Structure 1
Amino acid sequence: MPNRSKNQQPTDASDAAQAEADAIRIGKGRATPSRREREAARRRPLVPADRKVAREADRERMRVERQRQQAGLAAGDDRYLPARDKGVQRRYARDYVDARWSVGEFLVPVVVILLLSTFLPFPSPMKESISSYVLFVVWGFFIITVIDCFVMGSLLTRRLREKYGEAERGLRWYASMRTIQMRFMRMPKPQAKRGQYPA
């Protein structure tokens, strides 16, 4: 291969490509990037070049994060629960409520059905008596629900004191509010099956 002087440069594109290939083959097999090249690779613009793509990427990331939070909330994962649902005693109360049959969980559908029945086209005298009976049944069902919640709260408090030494404040109300919700609407989702009371 003919010798070249130090000041002699490649005269065409093929010589330049050959010189670059020779440089790459030396050492670790690739050219070492300069400091300026490394800094440029790390530098990110404050405003992305394609704002539409950036917005879509942000929306997708937020959608995935919301799905993860909703799944964690439904599963009762403490990391995703609001403050009112966190803690071992709150989890115990939820499991206890979900394990039992409660009058309160039928309160809403029964009241809705009874109230809708008052709109049926009955004769006028009969309609008045039906409305009176419906009101009587709704109030009776409500009173039974309150009694059931009171009994459930007392039993739950006794269990919590036996297990943890004392019961947190507000747990009876927390459990009662869960009791009057229909099972499939409860959040966090029930983790205990019917009859599967927590130890």
Structure 2
Amino acid sequence: MKLPWKKDDDAEVDTTSTVEQTPEEAAADRRYTEGKGRPTPKRREAEGKRRGPVAPAPTTRAEARARKKDLKGSAVSLTKEEKRAQSDQRRKARTEQREKMMDGDERYLMARDKGEVRRYARDIVDSRRNFAGLFMPFAILLILVMFLPALAVYATLFMLIFVIFLVIDGFLLGRTLNNRIHERFPNTSDGGFKLTWYGFSRAMQMRFMRAPRPTVKPGDAV
């Protein structure tokens, strides 16, 4: 029975209401992605567009580090021939840089070795017969003696005596370096313990291991 105050719309069933989705169906709708509208290029085609001529070898360490960083960040795949060519160029560049550094070229020296003051300090050290130059041979001899129980007892005493003479020689070398440096370069700020340690660390190395290589002989006037 239809009552007067009832409307016809209330009696009808809403057949256009949205059917609720299950969690699995909702997740599947979210994972769906529309196509790009174009085919994905092949890897060989994409690499062919990016690949170019091999860059020349870097001339400085800073440039080499920057080049290495760029190569790590890029996704370019090189052939074996290209990798071998780059490796040969880098090896050749490093060899040339080391040779120029050993010859004392200011462009390739480390920061601690640059300047006329440091060059003069190296010449003073190389012209002396330093007691500190016996450090490495003595250290090797001491290691061998430690394997002999009969002589190991005296090794500590010998090491103590050697260290005392080493400190005395380092003090004399530092005083000589500072006096002569300030006589020749009165306006320089390089001196003191920093210059003493620079000369002493070079004096402890054997002559054929010093870098840059010595340009004067022991006993030469500097």
Equivalent residues in 2 for 1:50-199, closer than 5 Å: 51-120=79-148, 127=150, 130-165=151-186, 166=188, 168-169=190-191, 170-198=194-222
Residue 56 of structure 1: how far off its partner (Å): 2.3
Q: Secondary structure at the match of 2:205?
A: coil
Which TM-score applies when normalising by structure 2?
A: 0.61
TM-score (norm 1): 0.67
Q: Which letter does structure 1 place at the counterpart of 2:116? A: V
Instruction: Work out whether residues 48 and 54 of structure 1, in 8 Å CA contact, stay in contact via their aligned partners in 2.
Output: no
The offset of 1:175, in angstroms, is 0.5
Q: CA RMSD in A?
A: 2.1
Equivalenced residue count is 148
- Structure 1 residue 116: deviation in Å? 1.1
Residue segments in structure 1 that go unaligned for 5+ positions in a row: 1-44
1:44-90 per-residue CA deviation (whole Å, 9 max, x = no partner) reads x6414983332222222211110111101111111111111111111
Structure with higher Rg: it is: 2
Partner-residue secondary structure (3-state), 1:76: coil
Structure with the bigger RCO (C-alpha within 8 Å, sep 6+) is: 1
**Closer, same or farther in 2 for the Cα pair 1:55/1:118, shift >3 Å?**
closer
Structure 2 unmatched runs, 5+: 1-48, 54-77
